[in-house]
């Protein structure tokens, strides 16, 4: 009996995206919003939280059961690149300061503890002074 059910599930999920990193991430705000909606007693806020929860749940299951695997993998790759960028930034914040070039908006990394320095943008060559 269990093998039949397992095989039926495998058959149904064949060619579908399944549960990935973005799906795992979506689960976190769902749980947090559920907890907040239990704690908060204002009806309109509770209703808004419930609506957001349902939208996130529907989107999560849409991604899991989607047969357009290429698009879902692209979405997941975009999420992973942003997550890795933020993790790298957080890990480097003890040793470096991060600035944005006022001219071209490129992100620049400067070693900490150098005092006031002139930063030259590698992208456009614009020079500006900041504390490092």
Which DSSP string corresponds to 81-94? HHHHHHHHHHHHTT
* pTM assigned to the model: 0.73
Cα distance between residue 64 and residue 53, in whole Å: 16
Return the pLDDT at 5.
93
Nearest one of 127, 64, 75 to 99, comparing CA atoms: 127
Percent of all residues in the chain with a pLDDT value above 70, rounded to a whole number: 100
In a domain, 83, yes or no: yes
Question: How many structural domains compose the chain?
Answer: 2
Residues 88 and 127 in one domain: no
Nearest one of 53, 61, 132, 51 to 98, comparing CA atoms: 132
Residues 88 and 100 in one domain: no
Give the range of the structural domain holding residue 27, as residue numbers without chain letter. 16-92
Average of per-residue pLDDT across 16-33 = 93
Is pLDDT of 48 > 80? yes
Residues 85 and 120 in one domain: no
Q: In 10 A of CB 121, how many CB atoms?
A: 18
Q: How confident is the model at residue 47 (pLDDT cuts 50, 70, 90)?
A: very high
């Amino acid at each position: 009996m269990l093998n039949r059910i397992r095989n039926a599930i495998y058959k149904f999920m064949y060619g579908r995206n399944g549960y990935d990193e973005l799906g795992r991430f979506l689960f976190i705000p769902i749980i947090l919003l559920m907890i907040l909606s239990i704690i908060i007693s204002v009806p309109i806020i509770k209703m808004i939280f419930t609506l957001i929860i349902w939208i996130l749940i529907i989107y999560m299951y849409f991604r899991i059961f989607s047969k357009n695997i290429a698009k879902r993998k692209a979405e997941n790759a975009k999420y992973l690149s942003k997550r890795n960028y933020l993790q790298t930034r957080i890990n480097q914040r003890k040793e470096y300061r991060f600035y944005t070039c006022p001219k071209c908006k490129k992100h620049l990394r400067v070693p900490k503890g150098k005092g006031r320095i002139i930063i030259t943008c590698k992208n456009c060559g614009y020079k500006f002074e900041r504390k490092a």
